[in-house]
Amino acid sequence: MVTAIENRVNSLNEPFLNVPHSQENLLPAEKLSMDLLTKIQDRTAVVAVIGLGYVGLPLATTCAEVGFTVNGIDLSEDKVAGLNRGESHIQDVPNEQLASLVSSSRLRAHTGYDSVADADIVIMCVPTPLNKTGDPDISYILAAGNALRDRLKSGALVVLESTTFPGTTEELLAPMLVEAGLTVGHDLFVAFSPERIDPGNPHFGLRNVPKVVGGMTPACRTVAVAFYEAIVEQVVPVSSPIAAEMTKLLENTFRSVNIALVNEVAIMCSKLGVDVWEVIEAAASKPYGFMKFSPGPGVGGHCIPVDPNYLSWKLKHLNYNARFVQLAGEINAEMPTYVVGKVVDALNAQRKAVNGSRILVLGVAYKPDVDDVRESPALDILRLLHARGAELFYNDPYVAQLKLNGVTLESQPLTSALLAAQDCVVIVTAHKDYDWASITSAAKVIVDTRNVIHTGTTERATVIRL
């Protein structure tokens, strides 16, 4: 075991590590890195995960499952109490899995940061939303960094996983941590590894999605790679934290731009009287040079609507206007308005106004078969229809209730009577639980934003597509 660890240390490029090693003649910094590598390999390292949401809780449970002792930290007292009872608030982490780890003392949740003092590895998975002006809100990162600064022990590894603008790890987080007298690459190891969690994905989870890792020094990269190799199948090292930060933003900007393109094509096809879905399927028959994306009512989740803004914000501070990125965001943000326009047209054809009409929205989660409503386009569609005076209802088998303009709405049982009573049904999220044949036989008018009601289906409803 020691030989393998020494090989890792000997492979580093820093001058003080480019000498033959033995346990007796190690320099202090070398010994700290070797001690941490040993703890990672024999699973005696204590891991602290800050933020126990959609990213942090799956990471914490995975670390515990492979043998690490894990202290989870979250500011929500209700969430922490539930976790310590073995009750998961994340769909991808079953109660049975969590309860087993809690009962075996592999995982414990806390509302304070004191347990960080025992941690050899600290992973930051805190929220990074946008503020009201659309600028990055990194207050959670700064708050966590402040809390860590006076609690970190010498030789600890700190990894930021929260999506943020390029330069955050090296320019903001690391300078905060070294104020306690530690030195990066010697007695403190700092890295960035972007989260790649896709809630509800049955094929790709934390373990089988490659993990990008960028350390501030070769020593930082080595210990961070060793840690992630213990919990995932493949690690992809990159040269620096900023390269890892940029990787994450490229991934989601790529999706944002391509979704915007196909959304605009949908609008063009509507004006031309062409079926956009037919066009997309025909284009997708090309075996090279084309990747299929589908239009929809907008983009949701924490990543695609948010991450490109981090990139364009950073570039503004470098006197560069990321026009392409910003335009894609504008197109996607306008799609809920476009959908409401389709609803208006559907009601006008019945000689009805939106004001006073009964409208049912099917699916409010941002993607199928999950309970996550973060940045869901359904919320914007509901707000726009509410502002026009519609009498609103929704159904979602995964979301029991939601807040709309300060009012709590509850998911309505999806019955034939409910469908028949609506002036318009708007399909926003195509959950697998929905029986589209029954829906089309009971509803009068449907605005289908997901192309789930196919031409030729025996249906009572008038169907309007994007």
Angle at 186 between CA 142 and CA 149, to 5 degrees: 25
**Cα 63 from Cα 233, distance rounded (Å):** 13
Alpha carbon distances (Å) from 77 to 80, 122, 157? 5, 20, 27
Which residue stretches of 182-289 are H helix?
218-229, 241-272, 276-284
Helix (H) or strand (E) holding 72, with range, is strand 69-73
Helix (H) or strand (E) holding 77, with range, is helix 77-84
Beta-sheet pairing, 69-73 with 391-395: unpaired
**Cα 401 from Cα 371, distance rounded (Å):** 10
> Which residue type occupies 334?
E
Query: Which residue, among 138, 197, 136, 148, has the nearest Cα to 50 in the 3D structure?
Result: 148
Instruction: Give Cα 213 to chain centroid, integer Å.
Output: 17
The pair phi, psi for residue 190, each rounded to 5°, is: -125, 135
Number of helices followed by number of strands (H, E) in the chain:
16, 15
Alpha carbon distances (Å) from 185 to 40, 96, 217? 17, 39, 6
DSSP letters for 298-319: ---SSSTTTHHHHHHHHHHTTT
* Residue from 63, 125, 269, 303 carrying the catalytic annotation: 303
Alpha carbon distances (Å) from 30 to 4, 121, 246? 15, 17, 30
Phi-psi region of 134 (alpha: psi -120 to 50; beta: other; left: phi over 0): left
Alpha carbon distances (Å) from 137 to 19, 210, 306? 44, 27, 11
Q: Is 269 an annotated catalytic residue? A: no
92 contacts 58 by C-beta, under 8 angstroms: yes
**Cα 135 from Cα 351, distance rounded (Å):** 43
CA torsion angle 51 54 56 57 (round to 10):
110
- Give catalytic residues, as residue numbers: 303
